[in-house]
Amino acid sequence: MPTDLWRFAQTLYQARDVEATCLLLQNEGADVCLLLCAAWLERRQIACTEEHAEALRELAYSWRQQVVVPLRCLRQGWREAAQSDETLARLREQVKQLELAAEREQLERLAARCQAWEAVRTDASPDWLECLAPAQANRDALHRLRVAAAHLTA
């Protein structure tokens, strides 16, 4: 299993049904980068406290609103027009790459914020996914994400 958050997120996202699960959760208002970080923290058995969760929420919200969401909106807004305009399709692909770079930066910032946090006792459950997901998030989808993360290998 990858130990750094970016590689963990890439590996997890490629696991069976994870992309669809993440898109479902995103459509419900979840920050996918924050949930990938949550799965990483759970996998590493890092203690979940409200103080730590709030620190991650604040960091993620600010970056997502200022950087990721505007790029995503631009890219999605060009979807239909780009199907018949080759130049716009190329520009849309460049925006997609910027969006991915912004998400990578968000993950790196989240990882840096929680670098010194300690693991919990082995009999405790970290519950990061429930803590960082929106209240209305699909619990089955969160469970699928947790199971996929638990089954990752090196």
148 Cβ neighbours under 8 A, 6+ residues apart: 12, 15, 16, 17, 18, 21, 39
Reply yes or no on whether the pLDDT at 11 is more than 50: yes
Q: Give 20: exposed, middle or buried? Use CB within 10 Å, 0-12, 13-18, 19+.
A: exposed
pLDDT cut 70: percent of the chain above it: 94
Paired tokens of 3: 């130990």
13 close to 40: Cβ distance less than 8 angstroms: no
What is the three-class DSSP state of 46?
strand
Q: Which residue has the tokens 């970290």?
A: 126
Check whether 142 has a pLDDT greater than 80: yes
Q: What is the mean pLDDT of residues 83-105?
A: 97
Mean local confidence (pLDDT), 51-65: 95
Confidence of residue 1 (pLDDT cuts 50, 70, 90): very low
Model-level pTM?
0.90
For the chain, report the end-to-end CA distance as a whole number of angstroms. Answer: 4
Domain residue limits, the chain: 5-150
Q: Rounded mean pLDDT of the chain? A: 92
- The percent of residues in the chain predicted with pLDDT above 90, rounded, is 82
Q: Report how far residue 142's alpha carbon sits from residue 42's, in angstroms, rounded to the nearest whole number.
A: 12
